[in-house]
Amino acid sequence: MLEDLKYRGKKREGRHRDTWDPFQLNPIGAEKEQKRYCFQLAQYLMAVIVGLAVLTSAVVAKGSLLVLSTMSSPYSLRSPKDKQFYMLMLVFCLVCPNFLVFMKSLWRCAFKSFVKPNMRTMSFVCAIECLVSLGTSVLVLVVMPQFDVLTNLFISGGVCIMSAVLQIIFRLQREKWKILFPVCSLILTVAGYCLLGLDYYVRVTSFVDRQSEDCYIYIAVGIFSSLLVSLCWWENPLQATNSMQETLSELDGFRDFVFVISSILRIIVIGGVYLLYHVLIEQSIIWKDFNLGSVDRQLLEIGLGLFFLQAFCSAACHWFGVVACKIHAVRMSFALPVCFTGPAVLLLGLILFITEVKHLDGAEHGSITEFCESLVFLRHKNTTPVVMLEITRSICRTSLNSYYLQWPFSMLALEGVCIWLGFVTCTYYVWKMEVQRIERTSQLFVRRLYESAFIDLSLLLNTKMKVPRAKNQESHDDLQSCVIYLCATMWHETYDEMLKILTSMFRFDRYRGDPKEEHKDMFDFECHIYVDDAFMTDEETGKRLVNSYVQDLANVVIEVYRVFTNKEPDDVSIIQAPYGGRLMFVMPEGNMLYVHLKDKQLIRNKKRWSQIMYLYYLLGWKGYITKNPQKIQRQNNPCRASLFSMDGESYLLPQQESDNKRKFISDDHTYILALDGDTDFQPKAVILLVDRLRMYENVGAACGRIHPTGMGPMVWYQKFEYAVGHWLQKTSEHVFGSVLCSPGCFSLFRGSSLMDDNVLKRYTTTASRASEYVQYDQGEDRWLCTLLLQQGWRVEYNAASDAYTNSPQEFKEFYNQRRRWGPSTLANTLDLLHSGGETVKRNTSISGLYIFYQMFAVGSSILGPASVTLMIAGAFQFIFKIAGTLSIIIASIPPVFYVIVCFVAKPNNQITIAAIMSVLYAFLMTASFFSIIGDMVVQDTFLTPTGLFLVSMAIMYLVTALLHPEEFGMIIYGLMYFICIPSGYLLLTIYSLVNMHIVTWGTRESNKGGGEAKKKHNVLCDRNCRLCCWDMKIQVTQETENLMFQQITGKSTQQAPPLPVTNTEVTHQAETKMELQAIVDTSKGNTVVVGEAKKLYGKEGKGSNASSSSSEDTVKKLSLSESSSDEDVDDDDDDFMIDDADETVGLPVSDWVHPVKEVFLKKLTYANMKRNLQEQIRYTLRKKNEDDVCEDLVLMLTDTLNGELNGVGPEDVLSDIQLEELRYALTKQARQFLKTCHMMTLEKRVKRAIEKTLTAPQVQGLDEGEQDFWEKLIERYLKPITDTKAHLDEITKELKSLRNKAVFLYFIINLLWVVATFFLQAIGSDVLSIEIPKVFPNGTPAGEPLKVEPLSLMFLMSFAILLLIQFLAMLYHRVYTLIHVVSYRSTEKDYREKLEDDDADDDGLNIISNGLAITGDDL
At 680-731, the pLDDT tens digits run 999 999 999 999 999 888 999 999 999 999 888 999 999 999 999 999 999 9
Q: Supply the pLDDT for residue 168.
A: 85
Residue predicted with more confidence, 936 or 1152: 1152
At 579-615, the pLDDT tens digits run 999 999 999 888 999 999 999 999 998 899 999 999 9
pLDDT at 475 over 50: no
Please return the burial class of 1045, using the count of CB atoms within 10 Å of its CB with bins 0-12, 13-18 and 19+.
Answer: middle
At 64-116, the pLDDT tens digits run 999 999 888 888 878 888 888 999 999 999 999 999 999 988 888 877 666 77
At 270-305, the pLDDT tens digits run 999 999 988 888 777 787 777 877 777 888 888 899
Q: Supply the pLDDT for residue 541.
A: 86
pLDDT at 1097 over 80: no
Q: Read off the pLDDT band of 239 (50, 70, 90).
A: confident
Q: Supply the pLDDT for residue 730.
A: 94
Q: Supply the pLDDT for residue 689.
A: 94
**DSSP sequence for 881-928:** ---HHHHHHHHHHHHHHHHHHHHHS-HHHHHHHHHHHHHHHHHHHHHH
Query: How many CA atoms lie less than 13 Å away from 931 in the CB half-sphere?
Result: 17
Residue predicted with more confidence, 1261 or 1057: 1261
Q: Read off the pLDDT band of 804 (50, 70, 90).
A: very high
Q: Supply the pLDDT for residue 1231.
A: 86
Are 451 and 97 contacting, i.e. CB atoms less than 8 angstroms apart? yes
Distance from the Cα of residue 1172 to its chain's centroid: 39
Residue predicted with more confidence, 64 or 637: 64
**DSSP sequence for 846-866:** --HHHHHHHHHHHHHHHTHHH
* CA dist 387 → 78, 83, 375, 379, 1045 (Å): 10, 13, 13, 12, 100
Q: Supply the pLDDT for residue 935.
A: 72
Residue 141 neighbours by CB under 8 Å, 6+ apart: 87, 90, 91, 94, 270, 273, 274, 277, 278
pLDDT at 540 over 50: yes
Residue predicted with more confidence, 871 or 1038: 871
Task: Give the lowest-confidence range in 391-395, 1061-1065, 1310-1314.
Answer: 1061-1065
Element (H, E) at 582: strand 580-586
Which of left, alpha, beta for 990 (phi over 0: left; psi -120 to 50: alpha)?
alpha
Q: Supply the pLDDT for residue 1281.
A: 85
At 1129-1151, the pLDDT tens digits run 333 333 333 333 333 344 577 88
Distance from the Cα of residue 852 to its chain's centroid: 25
Q: Supply the pLDDT for residue 33.
A: 61
At 426-469, the pLDDT tens digits run 988 888 887 877 778 877 888 878 888 899 899 999 888 864 44
Q: Read off the pLDDT band of 128 (50, 70, 90).
A: very high
At 998-1029, the pLDDT tens digits run 887 666 665 555 444 334 445 555 666 555 44
C-alpha–C-alpha distance, residues 530 and 274, integer Å? 71
Q: Supply the pLDDT for residue 1318.
A: 86
Task: Work out the average pLDDT over 842-856.
Answer: 89
Which percentage of the chain shows pLDDT scores above 70? 75
pLDDT at 1063 over 50: no
Angle at 340 between CA 394 and CA 458, to 5 degrees: 85
Compute, in degrees rounded to 10, the torsion defined by CA atoms 163, 167, 169, 171.
Answer: 170
Average pLDDT score over the chain: 78
Q: Read off the pLDDT band of 474 (50, 70, 90).
A: very low
Q: Read off the pLDDT band of 1033 (50, 70, 90).
A: low
- The dihedral through the CA atoms of 1060, 1064, 1065, 1070 has a sign that is positive
Q: Supply the pLDDT for residue 468.
A: 43
pLDDT at 306 over 70: yes
- 1405-1408: Cβ within 8 A, 24+ apart: 1406/649, 1406/650, 1406/651, 1408/650, 1408/651, 1408/652, 1408/657
Please return the burial class of 380, using the count of CB atoms within 10 Å of its CB with bins 0-12, 13-18 and 19+.
Answer: exposed
Highest mean pLDDT out of 380-394, 548-562, 870-884 = 548-562
Task: Work out the average pLDDT over 750-777.
Answer: 91
- φ, ψ for residue 934 (rounded to 5)? -65, -35
Q: Supply the pLDDT for residue 403.
A: 58
Q: Supply the pLDDT for residue 782.
A: 93
Q: Supply the pLDDT for residue 915.
A: 94
pLDDT at 55 over 70: yes
**DSSP sequence for 1355-1379:** HHHHHHHHHHHHHHHHHHHHHHHHH
Task: Work out the average pLDDT over 873-880.
Answer: 79
Beta strands in 1238-1318 (DSSP E): 1258-1261
Q: Supply the pLDDT for residue 1011.
A: 43
Q: Read off the pLDDT band of 356 (50, 70, 90).
A: low
Q: Supply the pLDDT for residue 1345.
A: 66
At 1213-1244, the pLDDT tens digits run 888 888 888 888 888 888 888 888 877 878 88
- Cβ count near 1390 (within 10 Å): 8
Task: Work out the average pLDDT over 884-901.
Answer: 91
Q: Supply the pLDDT for residue 1065.
A: 38
At 897-917, the pLDDT tens digits run 999 999 999 999 999 999 999
pLDDT at 1057 over 50: no
At 1045-1054, the pLDDT tens digits run 344 344 433 3
Q: Supply the pLDDT for residue 134.
A: 95
Q: Read off the pLDDT band of 941 (50, 70, 90).
A: low
What pTM was computed for the model? 0.81
Residue 604 neighbours by CB under 8 Å, 6+ apart: 1137, 1278, 1279, 1280, 1281
Length of the chain: 1419
**DSSP sequence for 626-645:** HH-GGGS-----TTSGGGB-
Are 828 and 779 contacting, i.e. CB atoms less than 8 angstroms apart? yes
Tell me what percent of the chain is helix, strand and coil, each rounded to the nearest 5: 60, 10, 30
Are 667 and 755 contacting, i.e. CB atoms less than 8 angstroms apart? yes
pLDDT at 795 over 90: yes
Supply the Cα-derived Rg of the chain in whole angstroms.
Answer: 39
**DSSP sequence for 119-174:** HHHHHHHHHHHHHHHHHHHIIIIIIGGGS-HHHHHHHGGGGGHHHHHHHHHHT--S
Task: Give the lowest-confidence range in 705-714, 1205-1214, 1410-1419.
Answer: 1410-1419
Task: Work out the average pLDDT over 1068-1091.
Answer: 36
At 369-378, the pLDDT tens digits run 656 666 665 5
- Cβ count near 1005 (within 10 Å): 20
C-alpha–C-alpha distance, residues 1151 and 1149, integer Å? 7
pLDDT at 1154 over 60: yes
At 1271-1325, the pLDDT tens digits run 999 999 999 988 788 888 888 899 999 999 999 999 999 999 889 888 887 776 5
At 732-762, the pLDDT tens digits run 999 999 999 999 999 999 999 999 999 999 9
Q: Supply the pLDDT for residue 1086.
A: 38
Q: Supply the pLDDT for residue 654.
A: 63
Q: Supply the pLDDT for residue 1339.
A: 60
pLDDT at 810 over 80: yes
